[in-house]
Amino acid sequence: MAQFVKLNPEALQPLREVDARLVSYDVEMAEVTGGTFWKAYTPAQIAGEEEFVLKKGTAGLMLDKNALMQYYDPIDLRDKKLRKLAKEVGPAWVRVSGTWATKTYYDFDGHTGGQAPEGYDAILTREQWLGVLDFCKEIGAKLLISVADCDGLHHADEPWNPSQAEQIFALSEEYGKPIDAAEFVNEPHMLELSGCPKGYTSELFAKNHDIFARWLRENHPDCLLVGTSASDGMPVGDPTYKSDKPAFNFLPTVPLDSLMQPMQEKLDVFSYHYYNGRPSCRPTTGSLTALSVRIIWLWPAIWRACTQKSAIPTARVPRCGSPSPVTRAVAALPGPRPIRTFSAR
């Protein structure tokens, strides 16, 4: 039974200070352009009165991913109520990314007529991106994005090129809201299922990640390089973990260290995606322990991949009830932490 606890802030002892932007959120690129994303739970499912049915998939997938998705219209980031509520959250990072971003074409002059070029799935218009920039400006948010890396941009046997990235960085700077941090690809541990070119491998990802990193530092030195923004083969972080819940096993993936070990360019921020999911799909205590061990085991690789810049704390807030990963940038490195946490003891 729930109990109310009354705390007296004056009697609490400070333990540590954390970044003012610790609680931050994600706006999916699919929400900006309009597109498919995880299906929202119904009110009855949220209340626990209706079962969430998982359908079996084909082609080696344990689940039918399409049955878990739905189309969303573009979000209106100019909505006054939304902006007011966003300001009330406080200082934050706004992350515009997701798998949809990997295959989104930036059409800022309208030359496509709204039709995505071959190899892309979506169009981002000038007006839509200015809406994101204006939203971040008004609420005082820092902006984190990921860029296009799909068959429309280059094939697996060709190097990544910045022709698309140059456009979104240029427009952002022109509008007076430069991009503060950038990821190469959202959740690259899924390779092709992340939207990357067909035939992508861990080694090819690492090679192209290095090309992106060098381009970013040469042209936008004030922008933080974030990565790998992935999970580790299994949503609970333990590659030996097998769940009787098929939601944990339905996507073929590669281990996180196979992405990081070949990388030559150091990261400014290490970002890891931890999937908690619905209450019935939460990992056991043993699985959480395995996740902690996995993070510690990866620590040498994480440390080698990072420089002495501050980490970005971010949290991803999904649509109501959708399967919800929490994106955490692991604060491996020192940085300003103006918010205090307290102990009631």
| DSSP string computed for 231-274 | -BSBTTS-TT---SSGGGTSS----HHHHHTT--SPBSEEEEEE
Size of the chain in residues: 345
Distances (CA, A) of 294 to 19, 100, 155, 275, 330: 25, 28, 33, 15, 13
- Asked if 250 and 65 count as a contact pair (C-beta separation under 8 A), the reply is yes
- Residues near 192 by Cβ (< 8 Å), separated by ≥ 6? 198, 199, 200
pLDDT at 247 over 80: no
Q: Can you give the residue ranges of every domain in the chain?
A: 9-35+74-343
Q: Which residue has the tokens 């909505």?
A: 79
Within the chain, what is the greatest distance between any pair of CA atoms?
A: 62
Summarize the confidence of residues 238-252 as an average pLDDT: 46
Phi and psi at 282, nearest 5°, equal -70, 140
Summarize the confidence of residues 159-188 as an average pLDDT: 97
**Percent of the chain residues topping a pLDDT of 90:** 52
What is the model's pTM? 0.76
Residue 257's pLDDT is what?
86
Confidence of residue 13 (pLDDT cuts 50, 70, 90): confident
Residue 338's pLDDT is what?
35
Residue 22's pLDDT is what?
84
Residue 225's pLDDT is what?
96
pLDDT at 223 over 80: yes
Q: b/e string for 289-322 if b means 16 or more Cβ within 10 A?
A: ebbeebbeebeebbeebbeeebbbbbbbebbebb
The pLDDT tens digits for 325-345 are: 323 333 332 333 333 333 333
* Torsion of the alpha carbons at 115, 120, 122 and 124, rounded to the nearest 10: -90
Confidence of residue 30 (pLDDT cuts 50, 70, 90): very high
Residue 232's pLDDT is what?
67
Residue 199's pLDDT is what?
93
Confidence of residue 255 (pLDDT cuts 50, 70, 90): confident
**Alpha carbons 329 and 313: distance in angstroms, whole number:** 5
Element (H, E) at 343: strand 339-343
Confidence of residue 308 (pLDDT cuts 50, 70, 90): very low
Q: Which of 90-94, 119-123, 303-307 has the highest mean pLDDT?
A: 119-123
CATH among 3.30.420, 3.20.20, 1.10.8, 1.25.40 for 9-35+74-343: 3.20.20
- Asked if 96 and 27 count as a contact pair (C-beta separation under 8 A), the reply is yes
Residue 251's pLDDT is what?
59
Comparing 77-91, 175-189, 204-218, 230-244, the range with the smallest average pLDDT is 230-244
Between residues 7 and 133, which one has the greater pLDDT?
133
**Alpha carbons 246 and 257: distance in angstroms, whole number:** 24
